[in-house]
Amino acid sequence: MTIRPSLLALTSVFLLATSSAWAASDCTTVEAESLEAQVDEWQAYLAGYGSPVLKNPAGILAYGETVTNGNDRVLNAQHKTEVSTIFVKNLAGDFIRVATSVPDGVEGSHQSAIGTTLTNGGDPWKTLTADEEFCGTVNLFGTMYDSIYRPIEIVNGGAVTVIGALFVGNVH
């Protein structure tokens, strides 16, 4: 199995999420290049544990034997962005936040949006399911973020399968 870089953007189930591309597909703005470098470093760090793998169809994602679900150590490692998320793609095709620092947007709550999904059919979702990266501004739970979404993929017998995504973002 190998890891191939790609990108994506994130949205929310609880609020109507919007996104707009703010950089060309090669992410050439200064902000996009900074986010791209952050997700590159994070992806390389995670790959140091081993190749990505789904531990079971319920959506337990690991790099090697290191499980990412709920793992703040791997969530916050090797990048310096305001928010980050590790998504796993479940059997229904939804991208579920299994580790995230994105706040849930509920006034007075200090909880993360763990367990919520990327908006099915939104621009980031479409880009990820096409096995491509997404650079753009997204509205997550009422806050606008400049963001990058990158598919987590496995290659088996020449077939590429997207099993999740990495997201990094900074308040817009």
Residue 6 within any structural domain of the chain: no
Residue 31 within any structural domain of the chain: yes
Give the CATH number for residue 34. 3.30.450.20
Banded model confidence at residue 17, pLDDT cuts 50, 70, 90: very low
Residue 83 within any structural domain of the chain: yes
Token pair listed for 111 = 């909880």
Residue among 131, 161, 142 nearest 6 (CA) = 131
Radius of gyration of the chain (CA): 14
Residue 7 within any structural domain of the chain: no
Residue 27: the pLDDT is 62
Give the neighbor-by-neighbor strand order of the sheet with 60-63: 52-56, 60-63, 66-67
Domain carrying residue 149: 19-171
84 burial via Cβ count (<10 Å: 0-12, 13-18, 19+): buried
Residue 145 within any structural domain of the chain: yes
Q: Which residue has the tokens 């096995």?
A: 131
Checking if the pLDDT of 2 tops 70, the result is no
Residue 112 within any structural domain of the chain: yes
Residue 164 within any structural domain of the chain: yes
CB 12 within 8 A of CB 113: yes
Q: d(Cα 134, Cα 7) in Å, to the nearest integer?
A: 4
pLDDT in tens, 36-87: 999 999 999 999 999 999 998 778 999 999 999 999 999 988 888 899 999 9
Q: What is the pTM of this model?
A: 0.83
Residue 8 within any structural domain of the chain: no
The domain total for the chain is: 1
